[in-house]
Amino acid sequence: MNKLSFPTRVKPSDDVVWRDLQGESILLDLKSGVYFGLDPVGTRIWTLLQDHTDLQAVLEQLLREYEVSEETCARDLLELIAVLQEKGLVRMESVAPA
Amino acid sequence: MLTDRVRFHAFTEALRRTVKPGSVVLDIGTGPGIMALLACRFGARKVYAIESEAVIHVAREIAASNGLSGKIEFIEGLSTRVSLPERVDVIVSDLNGILPWYQQHLPSIADARRRFLAPGGTMIPKKEIVWLGVVEASQAYAAHVEPWETGHGFDMRAARDLATNSAQKVHLQPEAMLAAPQCGMVLDMNVVEDPNSSADVNFVVTRPGLGHGVLVWSDYVLTDEVSFSNGPARPKSIYGQIFLPWTRPVELESGDAVNIKLRCNLLGGDYVFRWSTEAVGRKTDVTARFEQSEFHSFPISPPFLRKGAETYLPRCNGEGSIDRFILASMDGEAAVREIALRLSERFPDHFKAPSDALDRVARISRVYSE
């Protein structure tokens, strides 16, 4: 498996609360008051981010759970992370190169 | 406030000690005007009394009945939207709920201090000290949670989750404490700016028992000499304390460590409380870990929330079309009755009786008219 070339860790923002609503989820940014909805796959990614800051670990878990190519999964994961970051729902932490 | 003797006497004493002959006083959220009246009694030259609710009209009558209409200027509106012709020597307010994090209390205090307080002026209250306690509260816990525990043979966990994420008003006694209370934070009204707060507090259990959650209360320091509290060791007040239940009760032994993180965020018009708990036994094993929030205390309708999403394309429904028609008709040229007539003609199926249309227009007019 190729490693994601994304030298950061991803952490949900401390100001976000969320609820799982039968597969979908609602995120609320307590700083901005903005609600954000996630579909079932987005909800699964968000759930994994609660315990895994390493995107590579998240990708590997998703590949175990979904029938999807690694390329497609990685692309969709990074797209969602970019949106979440733009909305201020996650923050990125740089990882020092090995 | 008038029905809470402890609170009333404390504010009276604070004003007596602070207001001097010739003082100019601002009373934010005057209600029926009692603190404005007291300020006059203690020698205030002028009192500005601000109130956004209709009770201000009662306050005006009371002031007139007491011959104080000349000294008290009543201003109807939100304090953050008014201007005063002069700076004041004293700002007094009682905008709290059970805790200082209540609606627009803190933003109003910060705004008033910045815009209205004269150099060297005094804020009443001066500060609020918030305390936290780990408590055994079986009655309070059962009252809210038990109906969803038994379930009458059904799985009611979805409702139980709402109950254990709801803050409750309680009146507990000191005997409920399982550890020494800890100070969560001090809010100094002379400097407070941020309406949001957080506390990170550690407890060591001193009395073994079944822990049910966190108790939160305030000491109100009105002046250096005058204070009162809604804490469990004090005379019962109308406010009581706030109880934040745990997801489940936790057996606690003497020497166990409990860490509580409390975060209070102002969202729109009110606060969302979040509380995180970690209980660690003496053998350093984690016996409980909870992440709770009032965001989980109410039913959510996903379709309802979707309509507020940034990318949603809203279109007026039937009710919206009616209100839009009324608002478009409010041009200062047509009377309420005339708008109601047009409304009935435009939406005949919705307004069977003329009075229904009149009621609807009157309601919209009261909210949106100049």
Locate the chain A residue with the closest alpha carbon to B269.
A33
Mean pLDDT lowest among B41-55, B280-294, B337-351: B280-294
Interface contact flag, B267 A24, Cβ < 8 Å = no
pLDDT at B310 exceeding the cut of 80: no
- Percentage of chain A exceeding pLDDT 70: 87
Residue A97 forms part of a structural domain: no
- What confidence score (pLDDT) does residue B271 get? 93
Q: How many CB atoms lie within 10 A of CB B4?
A: 18
- What confidence score (pLDDT) does residue A83 get? 93
Residue B359 forms part of a structural domain: yes
What tokens appear for A25 in the block? Answer: 């989820």
B162 and B78 fall within a common domain: no
B312 part of contact set with chain A, CB < 8 Å? no
- What confidence score (pLDDT) does residue A1 get? 47
Interface confidence, given as ipTM, is 0.82
Rounded to 5 degrees, what angle do the CA atoms B234, B236, B237 make?
A: 110
Per the structure, the count of domains in chain B is: 3
Cα–Cα distance between B169 and B140 in angstroms, integer?
9
| Segment B80-128, tens digit of pLDDT | 999 999 999 999 999 988 899 999 999 999 999 999 999 999 999 999 9
Cα–Cα distance between B271 and B294 in angstroms, integer?
9
Cα–Cα distance between B82 and B50 in angstroms, integer?
9
What tokens appear for B116 in the block? Answer: 């209205």
Per the structure, the count of domains in chain A is: 1
Residue B100 forms part of a structural domain: no
B278 and B353 fall within a common domain: no
Interface contact flag, B305 A24, Cβ < 8 Å = no
CA of A2 to nearest chain B CA: how many angstroms apart? 35
- What confidence score (pLDDT) does residue A4 get? 54
pLDDT at B237 exceeding the cut of 90: no
B251 and B353 fall within a common domain: no
Residue A5 forms part of a structural domain: no
Residue A64 forms part of a structural domain: yes
Mean pLDDT computed over B182-195: 96
Distances (CA, A) of B355 to B310, B345, B369: 38, 13, 20
Q: What's phi and psi for B229, nearest 5 deg? A: -145, 150
Which residue, A66, A86, A90, A87, is CA-closest to A74? A66
pLDDT at A7 exceeding the cut of 80: no
pLDDT at B71 exceeding the cut of 90: yes
B234 and B88 fall within a common domain: no
Disruptive mutation site among B161, B265, B298, B307 for chain A (greatest number of A CBs within 10 Å): B265
Mean pLDDT computed over A20-30: 88
Cα–Cα distance between B125 and B223 in angstroms, integer?
7
A21 part of contact set with chain B, CB < 8 Å? yes
Residues of B in contact with A50 (CB under 8 A): none
Residue A96 forms part of a structural domain: no
Residues of A in contact with B268 (CB under 8 A): 33
Residue B161 forms part of a structural domain: yes
pLDDT at A95 exceeding the cut of 70: no
- What confidence score (pLDDT) does residue B352 get? 85
| Segment B3-43, tens digit of pLDDT | 788 899 999 999 999 999 999 999 999 999 999 999 999 99
B140 and B29 fall within a common domain: no
| Segment A36-82, tens digit of pLDDT | 889 999 999 999 999 888 888 999 999 999 999 999 999 999 999 99
| Local confidence band at A6 (pLDDT 50, 70, 90 cut-offs) | low
Domain region containing B244: 128-299
Tell me the average pLDDT of chain A: 86
B173 and B212 fall within a common domain: yes
- What confidence score (pLDDT) does residue A22 get? 81
Residues of A in contact with B295 (CB under 8 A): 17-19, 28
- Domain of residue A37, CATH code: 1.10.10
- Domain of residue B63, CATH code: 3.40.50.150
Locate the chain B residue with the closest alpha carbon to A15.
B265
pLDDT at B199 exceeding the cut of 60: yes
B256 and B205 fall within a common domain: yes
A75 part of contact set with chain B, CB < 8 Å? no
Disruptive mutation site among A28, A47, A84 for chain B (greatest number of B CBs within 10 Å): A28
A19 part of contact set with chain B, CB < 8 Å? yes
B162 and B227 fall within a common domain: yes
B205 and B145 fall within a common domain: yes
Locate the chain A residue with the closest alpha carbon to B291.
A17
Cα–Cα distance between A52 and A54 in angstroms, integer?
5
B155 and B286 fall within a common domain: yes
Domain region containing A22: 10-91
